[in-house]
Amino acid sequence: MVSTMDYTRFLSDVAKGRQATILRDLFKLQLQDEEDWIYLIGGLPNAAYFPFTSGTLKMADGDALEITPPLMVDSLQYGNTIGYSPLLKQLTSLTQRLHDPPCWHHRDLMMTMGSQDGLDKAFNMLVNPGDFVLVEEPCYSAVISSLLPYQVRFLPVETDAEGMKPEALRAVLSRWNPQEAREATKDFPKFLYTNPTGANPSGGVLGEARRREIYAIACEYNFLILEDDPYYLQVYLENPPPSFLKLDAECRVLRFDSFSKTLGGGLRVGYTTGAKALVDKMMLHAQVSNQCVSLMSQVVVSELLRKWGEDGFLKHSHNITLFYKQQRDAIVASAEKYLKGLCEWAVPAGGLFLWLKVTCLKDTTGMLLERAKKRKLVLVPGNAFMTDPAKPCPFIRVSFSFNTIHMLDEVVFRSE
């Protein structure tokens, strides 16, 4: 299918004002380093004075990753804003393998400093002060914090153990007529934010039927879907559902991926996939902010993918998932042992968190600030994930990714 979408109506006033600069376009030519060309434009530091010439990274399996002198020069030099070319090619191949998005020629992929950086640039591109914004509730707390300075009007959509409920989304949108919404230029939500796989904080994994229904609603009302999916490879189901990107016949999905949960959060390497018109606007923002994602990190990830291949990377990710599934099973077993009758929970289908409802309390904030602190526990109260944090919330988020199984049992015991 050929994308005929006009993205102008979704852009913020700031994004509409962003223009490409001739200096950045010329810099792209310099990065190509064509033979016999003489470049007199960019203030690139002379590589002869870089303090490092090569490096070796020892790997957990006993192997080593070599950063050769040419790669070290690439690592220490400025790079193209969209990303390190070898890594972009690798991630394009991986994205097509995992998601097989329709109308790929209308899409692009850019590197970001983790998925959160991509989301922040997307919000800047899409949101004007006072805009309506559709979010699932509970919602990843950093998204709420990122959107608050725009003074948005949140439209929270009810969820259950699986994730967002399509009928709840329709109920929220019922104040608008679909045809009027398609023609609206303001006062209608431009996008829906969702963390559909291993949701933070609930651990829910949105099933295929719901994804298809939610996507159909997005097409009917003409809004974008921001698919934040850092836990995509940490799913504990035998048959994970397809991504929104895979279903995206109309090029209305912006997808945010990250290596933080598979290779390490400190690398700060993620990537955003979406319509070229939208990725281009995000890239204009990046050109005048972070300029490019750390080339050292990008080169390391690229060389690791080259060494492992896609199959090796997916095997590594699968092994991580098996470990986290053991952690999940351990904390659920501890909850069954100590918290039955005191709390309610759904077994997480993905991600790194257990979402506990304390049945005898209307709000957990006071308990966590006082009682849990006395027991030397640090837990997150549920209102941190609500669009109105002042409302009472009986939930607690518990992470099971980092501590040993013995410590997880101790955590739940102290929570009793």
pLDDT value, residue 41: 75
Q: Looking at residue 38, what is its pLDDT? A: 80
Residues 88 and 138 in one domain: yes
> Is position 1 within any domain?
no
Examine the domain organization and report whether 133 and 252 are in the same domain. yes
How far apart, in whole angstroms, are the C-alpha atoms of residue 346 and residue 357? Answer: 10
Q: Is 384 helix (H, G, I), strand (E, B) or coil?
A: helix
Q: Is residue 396 domain-resident?
A: yes
Query: Do residues 38 and 49 share a domain?
Result: no
- Main-chain phi, psi angles of 318, to 5 degrees: -65, -40
* Pair (220, 334) in one structural domain: no
pLDDT for 415 equals 61
How far is 326 from 281, CA to CA, in rounded Å?
Answer: 42
Does 409 lie in the same domain as 389? yes
Domain co-membership, 55 together with 114: no
d(CA 270, CA 112): 5
- Tell me the C-alpha distance between 235 and 374, whole Å: 34
Domain boundary (308, 328, 350) is at: 308
In a domain, residue 3? The reply is no
Instruction: Check residue 187 and give its pLDDT.
Output: 86
Assigned domain for 2 exists: no
pLDDT at 31: 63
User: What are the residues facing 194 on neighbouring strands?
Assistant: 227
* Residue at token pair 């921001």: 226
201 upstream amide cis, omega within 30 of 0? yes
Reading the chain (416 residues) residue by residue, the pLDDT tens digits are 445 789 999 999 999 999 987 777 777 676 666 778 887 777 889 999 999 999 999 999 999 999 999 999 999 999 999 999 999 999 999 999 999 999 999 999 999 999 999 999 999 999 999 999 999 999 999 999 999 999 999 999 999 999 999 999 999 999 999 988 877 666 899 999 999 999 999 999 999 999 999 999 999 999 999 999 999 999 999 999 999 999 999 999 999 999 999 999 999 999 999 999 999 999 999 999 999 999 999 999 999 999 999 999 999 999 999 999 999 999 999 999 999 999 999 999 999 999 999 999 999 998 887 877 788 888 899 999 999 999 999 999 999 998 876 775 666 656 65
**CATH no. for residue 365?**
3.90.1150.10
Residue 254: name the closest of 124, 80, 65 by CA.
Answer: 124
Name the domain boundary from 257, 273, 308. Answer: 308
Tell which residue, 45, 92, 101, 95, has the closest CA to residue 73: 45
**CATH number for the domain harbouring residue 158:** 3.40.640.10
**Total tally of structural domains belonging to the chain:** 3
> In whole angstroms, what is the distance from residue 346 CA to residue 203 CA?
8
Beta strands in 69-216 (DSSP E): 107-112, 132-137, 153-158, 191-194
Lookup: tokens for 102: 């329709």
Residue 66 lies in a domain: yes
Cβ proximity of 162 and 206 under 8 Å: yes
> Tokens standing for 230?
């850092």
Q: Pick from 287, 308, 329: which residue ends a domain?
A: 308
Per the domain annotation, does 170 fall within a domain?
A: yes
pLDDT of residue 88: 98
Residue 383 sits in which domain range?
316-415
388 and 283 belong to one structural domain: no
Round to whole Å and give the CA distance between 374 and 32.
Answer: 59
The answer to whether the CB of 151 falls within 8 A of the CB of 130 is yes
> Do 100 and 170 belong together in one domain?
yes
Select from 174, 183, 184, 186 the least CA-distant residue to 127: 186
The Cα 279–Cα 276 span in angstroms is 5
Q: Does residue 126 form part of some domain? A: yes
CA dist list (Å): 124 to 282, 286, 290, 330: 8, 11, 14, 40
Q: Is there a domain that residue 34 lies in?
A: yes
Cα–Cα distance list, 11 to 23, 104, 279, 284, 305 (Å): 24, 22, 12, 13, 35
Q: Say yes or no: 303 and 265 in one domain.
A: yes
Cα(198)–Cα(353) distance, rounded to whole angstroms? 8
Residue with tokens 């020892």: 58
pLDDT of residue 212: 99
Instruction: Answer yes or no: do 272 and 388 share one domain.
Output: no
Q: pTM for the complete prediction?
A: 0.94
What are all long-range contacts of 185-188, with beta carbons under 8 Å and residues at least 24 apart? 185/9, 186/128, 186/131, 187/132, 188/132, 188/221, 188/223
Assess whether 373 and 226 both reside in one domain: no
Q: Let me know whether 245 and 391 are in one domain.
A: no
